[in-house]
Amino acid sequence: MCTWAVPLPKLRPWRRLREEAAASYRIMDIWRVELEDGSGRGRGDAFTVRCRDWCNVIAVTPEDAVVLIWQYRFGTDALSLEIPGGIVDPSEDFEVAARRELLEETGFAAEHWSSLLCTEPNPAIQNNRCTAFLARGARPSGATRFDAQEEIETVLVPVWRIPDVLDGGQMTHSLSLGALEKYWRKRSSGVLERNPESIPGE
């Protein structure tokens, strides 16, 4: 469900006149797109990145701790504090992917799952979406299984420390910050306690 808090735009969508593949890589394809605006005026070419969809997970333990991870990120050449997550395989259900990623990256599994937030990571150039899930009752349930280019360290952080994580500067991954912010707002308002199986406003 979407609640319109901002007036709808008067702008009209642009039209794609022509598209062609420019490059293809393991996790993304680059496309050249010829565009015209809503008035029919040519706007030249743009390059878009077609990525597979992503998922991530806010996993909360029975002891009221959030499962976070540290891992090295190639783009920033630095260690990054994040919530678990990854790529959704073709034809894979988002929740199935989220359950798989949580187990593979942390060894945790959870009893109760609900969708928390759906975002477009970078609509300026990307076409994919990222769905965040809330997983409650998370417990160690098996061995981790990292990809060849993954090295991950799991850390448990008490839920009451989430504001420090959001504001302290240690976490800079925007998708993780957005999901944690949504979870903290819903939890602080009491929504999760009143209706634990759904997240109103989505």
Fold adopted by 52-192 = Nucleoside Triphosphate Pyrophosphohydrolase (3.90.79)
113 contact partners, CB below 8 Å, separation of at least 6: 95, 98, 99, 133, 134, 135, 136
pLDDT in tens, 48-59: 999 999 999 999
Look at 109 and 199; give whichever has higher pLDDT. Answer: 109
Residue 202 pLDDT > 50: no
Residues 48 and 37 sit within 8 Å (Cβ to Cβ):
no
Domain ranges of the chain: 15-50, 52-192
Dihedral sign computed on CA atoms, order 158, 87, 74, 106 = positive
pLDDT in tens, 108-158: 999 999 999 999 999 999 999 999 999 999 999 999 999 899 999 999 999
Section 5-9 average pLDDT: 91
Element (H, E) at 71: strand 65-73
Structure token digits, residue 87: 């790529």
The span from the CA of 130 to the CA of 116, in Å, is 11
pLDDT in tens, 46-102: 999 999 999 999 999 999 999 999 999 999 999 999 999 999 999 999 999 999 999
